[in-house]
Amino acid sequence: MVIELLTKRYPGMRAWLMQRLTALIMAVYSVMLFLRICVLQPDTYAAFLEFFQPTWFRIASWLFWISLSIHAWLGIRDVFKDYVPNMQVRSGLLKILVVLLWVYIAWASWLFLM
């Protein structure tokens, strides 16, 4: 029953679950980032580079950004659904949103993974 709700026939349930899953990932990352900043206190350029160096931290940051993109997509889409009744305007705005999010993902991937 629960698994059935997660199939393609119920896209709303999948959106709902993705919003929560990505929220959890981001919440865990945020707490980790906060603690890491408190412990390492990177206040010089060298310290900041070192702060950013570890592979696990870069991958975690990248996963955070992917989660953020999915979360923002679902959230802003809901906002458009609520406040933009004109379907043409709404679909235009959604297209802009998708392009923006992909540009940010490309940018973040370059920063975190290169």
Partner 1 sequence: MPENEIQSSRKAKTKNRPKNLNLLTIRLPINALVSILHRATGCALFLVLPIMLLLLQLSLSSVAHFETVVSIFNSPFSKLIMLGFAWAFFHHFFAGVRHLAMDVHWMTTLMKARYTSKIVLVLGVLATLVLAIKLW
Enumerate binding residues for partner 1 (CB under 8 A): 20, 23-24, 27, 30, 45, 48-49, 52, 68, 72, 75-76, 79, 104, 107-108, 111
In angstroms, give the least distance from the CB of 11 to partner 1.
18
Closer to partner 1 by Cβ: residue 5 or 24? 24
Q: How far apart are CA 24 and CA 40, in angstroms?
A: 24
- Closest contact distance (angstroms) between CB of 84 and partner 1 is 13
Please give the Cα distance from 103 to 98 (Å, whole number).
9
- Residues near 63 by beta carbon (within 8 Å), at least 6 away in sequence: 25, 29
In the bound state with partner 1, the residue whose beta carbon lies nearer, of 7 and 107, is 107
Give the three-class secondary structure for 73: helix
Name the residue nearer to partner 1 (CB basis): 4 or 82. 82
**Residue 19 near residue 74, CB atoms below 8 Å:** yes
Q: Residue 100 Cβ, how far from partner 1 at the closest point, in Å? A: 8
